[in-house]
């Protein structure tokens, strides 16, 4: 027998006379308050694959109060909606549920964790003029930032690294085709101090090569930036934020071999992590 298509209602055992698709008109408030009113469980018509509408507005979400009227859920027989003990979610439900998050960015913290109220306050200050209209968080401490329009979100996303209390925000665009789970931390951002860099390569090109031996360069602190751009300041070490592997050992030194018209010379650079 061919498997049922959960996106085709005609293939599911639902119908006006089906005893296995019913609505329980019992709200959570009734249970808590101990209401003695009878609650009938009645057959429902065949379900539409056009899922229930979801409010896609952004509005003044920061300041709205909670909805006081309890939501009433439908009881649906899932006998035709199971596969290897997995509940099968139809495409219509996924698409409808994704609509409110079309202009949403998210991020999580690695290491230091910032409180929700602090993140909310600082991001409001930074992004409200760009259409930030809501912030929320899930159980894995992943922060979500909703925007009113594409222009605002697209301004914030590619602007490099934003910071809150010196901790960088690495933003990603929410993807409707991916379930966001607690990250495995395969890669983490780390501030790295690299000592003993010769003056001839204490510049953007030289530091890019050196830092790339450790991982992906993300940011350079101000003293190091000044030394690179003005050839003046502090040349004791270069301080660079690098996205590094969380699984592989971190190098304690970097060996380099530089070439000139007269030949080549080699040296080792000491590396510290902070």
Does residue 266 contact residue 257 with C-beta atoms inside 8 Å?
A: yes
Does residue 82 contact residue 120 with C-beta atoms inside 8 Å?
A: no
Angle 268-272-274 from CA coordinates, rounded to 5°:
160
Tell me, yes or no, whether 80 and 6 share the same domain.
Answer: yes
Tell me, yes or no, whether 36 and 84 share the same domain.
Answer: yes
The pLDDT > 70 percentage for the chain reads 72
Q: Is residue 235 domain-resident?
A: yes
CATH number at residue 142: 3.30.70.330
| Domain edge (last residue) among 42, 76, 98 | 98
190-201 per-position pLDDT tens digit:
889 999 999 999
Q: Is residue 77 domain-resident?
A: yes
Question: Tokens at residue 211, please?
Answer: 């830092």
Q: Is residue 64 domain-resident?
A: yes
Query: What integer best gives the mean pLDDT of the chain?
Result: 78
- For the ranges 51-60, 99-108, 150-159, the lowest mean pLDDT is seen at 51-60
User: How far does the chain reach from its first CA to its final CA, in angstroms?
Assistant: 61
> In the predicted model, is pLDDT for residue 19 greater than 70?
no
Higher pLDDT, 171 or 36: 171
119-149 per-position pLDDT tens digit:
999 999 999 999 999 999 988 788 999 999 9
- Rounded to whole angstroms, the Cα distance separating 269 from 255 reads 6
pLDDT band at 5 (very low <50, low <70, confident <90, very high): low
Give whole-number Cα distances, 1 to 4, 19, 34, 92, in Å.
Answer: 9, 24, 47, 25
Q: Is residue 178 domain-resident?
A: no
| Domain edge (last residue) among 38, 63, 98 | 98
pLDDT in the model for residue 185: 64
Domain that holds residue 269: 187-273
Q: Exposed/middle/buried for 213, CB within 10 Å: 0-12, 13-18, 19+?
A: middle
CATH number at residue 267: 3.30.70
Q: Is residue 182 domain-resident?
A: no
> In the predicted model, is pLDDT for residue 221 greater than 70?
yes
Tell me, yes or no, whether 93 and 118 share the same domain.
Answer: no
> In the predicted model, is pLDDT for residue 44 greater than 60?
no
Higher pLDDT, 35 or 163: 163
Q: Exposed/middle/buried for 261, CB within 10 Å: 0-12, 13-18, 19+?
A: exposed
Residues with Cβ within 8 Å of residue 235, at least 6 apart in sequence: 197, 199, 202, 227
pLDDT in the model for residue 22: 42
> In the predicted model, is pLDDT for residue 13 greater than 60?
no
Q: Is residue 181 domain-resident?
A: no
- Rounded to whole angstroms, the Cα distance separating 20 from 78 reads 9
pLDDT in the model for residue 53: 55
Instruction: Name 107's bridge partners.
Output: 143
Give whole-number Cα distances, 199 to 59, 118, 196, in Å.
Answer: 54, 41, 9
Tell me, yes or no, whether 161 and 199 share the same domain.
Answer: no
pLDDT band at 110 (very low <50, low <70, confident <90, very high): low
Tell me, yes or no, whether 112 and 92 share the same domain.
Answer: no
Tell me, yes or no, whether 212 and 265 share the same domain.
Answer: yes
pLDDT band at 61 (very low <50, low <70, confident <90, very high): low
Q: At what angle do helices 222-230 and 204-212 cross, to 10 degrees?
A: 130
Tell me, yes or no, whether 131 and 90 share the same domain.
Answer: no
Residues with Cβ within 8 Å of residue 139, at least 6 apart in sequence: none
Tell me, yes or no, whether 248 and 206 share the same domain.
Answer: yes
Residues with Cβ within 8 Å of residue 111, at least 6 apart in sequence: 188
Q: Is residue 191 domain-resident?
A: yes
| Domain edge (last residue) among 98, 133, 159 | 98
pLDDT in the model for residue 159: 67
The pLDDT > 90 percentage for the chain reads 37
Tell me, yes or no, whether 32 and 46 share the same domain.
Answer: yes
Tell me, yes or no, whether 79 and 118 share the same domain.
Answer: no
- List the alpha helices (DSSP H) in 1-136: 28-33, 91-98, 116-127
Does residue 256 contact residue 269 with C-beta atoms inside 8 Å?
A: yes
Tell me, yes or no, whether 165 and 193 share the same domain.
Answer: no
Beta-sheet pairing, 142-147 with 104-108 = antiparallel
Tell me, yes or no, whether 74 and 53 share the same domain.
Answer: yes
> In the predicted model, is pLDDT for residue 64 greater than 90?
no
- Rounded to whole angstroms, the Cα distance separating 83 from 39 reads 31
pLDDT in the model for residue 89: 84
Q: Is residue 263 domain-resident?
A: yes
Q: What is the number of domains present in the chain?
A: 3
167-182 per-position pLDDT tens digit:
777 788 888 887 877 6
């Amino acid at each position: 027998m061919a498997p049922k298509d959960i996106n085709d209602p005609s293939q599911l055992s639902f119908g006006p006379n089906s005893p296995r698709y019913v609505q329980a008109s019992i709200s959570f408030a009734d249970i808590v308050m101990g209401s003695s009113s009878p609650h009938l469980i009645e057959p429902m018509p065949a379900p539409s694959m056009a899922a229930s509408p979801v409010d896609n507005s952004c509005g003044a979400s920061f300041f709205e109060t909670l909805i006081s009227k309890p939501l009433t859920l439908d009881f649906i027989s899932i006998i035709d909606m199971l596969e290897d003990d997995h509940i099968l979610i139809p495409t219509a439900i996924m698409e409808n549920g994704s609509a409110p998050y079309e202009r949403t960015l998210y991020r999580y913290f690695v290491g230091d964790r910032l409180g929700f109220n602090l993140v909310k306050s600082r991001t409001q200050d930074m992004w409200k003029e760009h259409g930030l209209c809501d912030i929320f968080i899930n159980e894995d401490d992943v922060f979500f930032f909703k925007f009113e329009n594409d222009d605002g979100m697209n301004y914030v996303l590619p602007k490099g690294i934003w910071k809150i209390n010196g901790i960088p925000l690495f933003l990603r665009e929410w993807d409707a085709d991916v379930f966001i789970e607690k990250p495995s931390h395969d890669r983490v951002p780390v501030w790295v101090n690299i000592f003993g860099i010769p003056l001839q390569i204490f510049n953007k090109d030289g530091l890019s090569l050196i830092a790339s031996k450790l991982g992906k360069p993300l940011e350079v602190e101000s003293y190091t930036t000044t030394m690179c751009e003005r050839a003046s300041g502090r040349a004791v070490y270069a301080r660079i934020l690098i996205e590094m592997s969380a699984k592989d050992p971190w190098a304690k030194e970097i060996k380099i071999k530089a070439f000139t018209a007269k030949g080549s010379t080699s040296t080792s650079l000491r590396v510290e992590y902070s």
